[in-house]
Structure 1
Amino acid sequence: VKLRAMALAFSLFTGPVNIVTDSAYAPNLVFCLDKAIASHVSNQVLSEVLLNLWNFIQSHMEPYFILHLRSHTNLPGFFVEGNAVADGLVSAVALGPIPNLKEQAVLSHQFFHQGHKALRQQFQLSHAEARSILASCPDCQGNYVPSFYGTNP
C-alpha cells in the first residue's frame, strides 16, 4: 500500500515532491531503488509495483524527499496530525467491509483455534454455532468431542 501510494505521488506530481510516510521500509527501498537495476521478483504484484515505482523515479527530473515519521506517536505537530488523518482514511479502505460476527468467529478460530467457550464469549454466539465452528475445523478434529444435551453419559 505504501509503495503504491509513493508511485501515485510520483505520477501525480511532476515537480519537486516531498513524501511523508510512517513506513521505515518504503523510504529505504526507494533510496536503494533509485540506484537499482530492475531484476526478477517472484511476487508478480510486488514486481509490478516496484517496476512502476522505479520507472517513475527514473523519469522524475525534479528533486524529491521522503521523510520517515514514526507512526502512532503523540508528539505535537502537523506531520503527526496529518499522518493520523491519512492512516484513518487508508485503513478504512484497505480493510474493506467487516464480516458479521459468525464470519469473524470462523476467521478467528482458523487463526487462534480457541475453544467453544471462548468463541461464545468473544463473539456472542449460541452454543450450537460455536460447536459447529469447532466441528468444521480440520485442525481441531482430533480435539473436538461432541456433547449431547439432555442425555446422561
Structure 2
Amino acid sequence: MKSVVSLGFGIFFMFIAVICSICYIITMPSKQYNMAYHINDNYIIQKYGILEDDKVELLMNDKLELTTENNDNCKFVDRFSELSNYYIGHFDGTDLKKKRCSGYFYIKKDNTDIRFNVSEEEIKEKFGNVKFNETPDEFINKYGITN
C-alpha cells in the first residue's frame, strides 16, 4: 500500500514538472541574435563566443571566400561606428601578432579608402569627434544578419 501511494506521488510530481517545463518553454523569451554585418564585398564584422560575452572580429575576403582562418583577419574589435560613407572601428590591442590589428581602422563603403593601424589623432583629423554609441555586438545585432 505504501509503495502505491509513493508511486502516485511520484507520478503527480513528474506531471507537475512536465507542465511547468512546457509553460516555461512557451513563455520563454525568444531573442534573435544577428551574427555578422557585411561592410562591403571585402569585409565583414562577425561575432563569436558565448552570446552573453560575444567577441567581434573583422574578416577580410581572400577573394575565394570569407574564412575565419584568413591571416588578414583581425580579432577583438571593441568599438565600431558608421559615419556617412565610412565604418570606423577600434581594435582593443590584444591581437599582438599583427601590427595592423591595433589602434583604429576605417573602411569606406565602396572600398576605395581603407586604413588600418590609425591613431586617434588621425581619426579626429579626418572625421572629427567620432561617437561610438553602440558596442560592436549591439551594432551587429541591430543591423546585421543571422548567418
Pick the TM interval, shorter chain: under 0.3
TM-score (normalizing by structure 2):
0.27
Query: Which of the two has greater helix per residue?
Result: 1
TM-score (normalizing by structure 1):
0.26
